[in-house]
Amino acid sequence: MTEKTLVLLKPDAVERNLIGNILTEYERNDLKVTDMKLLQASSEMAEEHYVEHKGQPFFNRLVSYLTRSPLVALVLEGEDVVNRVRTLNGTTDPEESGDNTIRALYGLSLSENTVHASDSPESAARERSIWFA
Ligand code: CMP
């Protein structure tokens, strides 16, 4: 089934000039970019995006990271795209992520793991409404 997912190329990706490299990974795997923007996230946007982690000891660090410089938000579309993008991105911790995954290639740490992707079509719809309001 054709789905949409929401991806963030987080501030460390933009700071290190990795936008093109990461987009290439998605595009050469037949995923279609159907919406994209570079923006400075506000604290409100970051807090809403990570609302499920509110109360976690790392929550404030996540919000500071996402808001420290511009990020790229994009929508990818394709068959089973939610799962496919999560596989391409790899595990949350880059140290444990499989070879050739985006986080193994470019991720810096568990906190600064360079990319985000929605974990379900329902999350994708909620997250799209934050970044593409
Ligand atoms: P992301 O996929 O954007 O979604 C939630 C984020 O929380 C995750 O990437 C990690 O960057 C971060 N995260 C999850 N667990 C931890 C943790 N134990 N310590 C720090 N950051 C975490």
pLDDT in tens, 63-119: 999 999 999 999 999 999 999 999 999 999 999 999 999 999 999 999 999 999 999
**Count of domains for the chain:** 1
Residue 91 CA to ligand 1 center (angstroms) comes to 10
Average confidence score pLDDT of the chain: 97
Report how far Cα 97 is from the mean position of its chain's Cα atoms. 15
Choose one of 12, 61, 62, 66 to mutate for the ligand 1 pocket test, by most ligand atoms within 8 angstroms of C-beta: 62
Residue 110 CA to ligand 1 center (angstroms) comes to 6
The mean pLDDT value for 7-24 works out to 98
The mean pLDDT value for 41-60 works out to 97
Structure tokens at 35: 């919406």
Could you tell me the pTM of the whole model?
A: 0.96
Percent of the chain residues topping a pLDDT of 90: 99
Residue 120 CA to ligand 1 center (angstroms) comes to 16
Choose one of 6, 61, 110, 114 to mutate for the ligand 1 pocket test, by most ligand atoms within 8 angstroms of C-beta: 110
**Beta bridge mates, 33:** 76
Q: Which atom of ligand 1 lies at the shortest distance from residue 8's CA?
A: 3
Contact 48, 103 (CB under 8 A): no
Residue 112 lies in domain: 2-131
Q: CATH code at 63?
A: 3.30.70.141
Closest CA to 115 of 1, 6, 4: 6
Instruction: Find the angle CA(23)-CA(83)-CA(132) to the nearest 5 degrees.
Output: 55
- HSE at residue 38, side-chain half, CA atoms within 13 A, is 9
pLDDT value for 126: 98
**pLDDT over 90 (residue 1):** no
Active-site residue identified among 4, 49, 84, 116: 116
Q: Strand 71-79 and strand 32-39: pairing?
A: antiparallel
pLDDT value for 82: 98
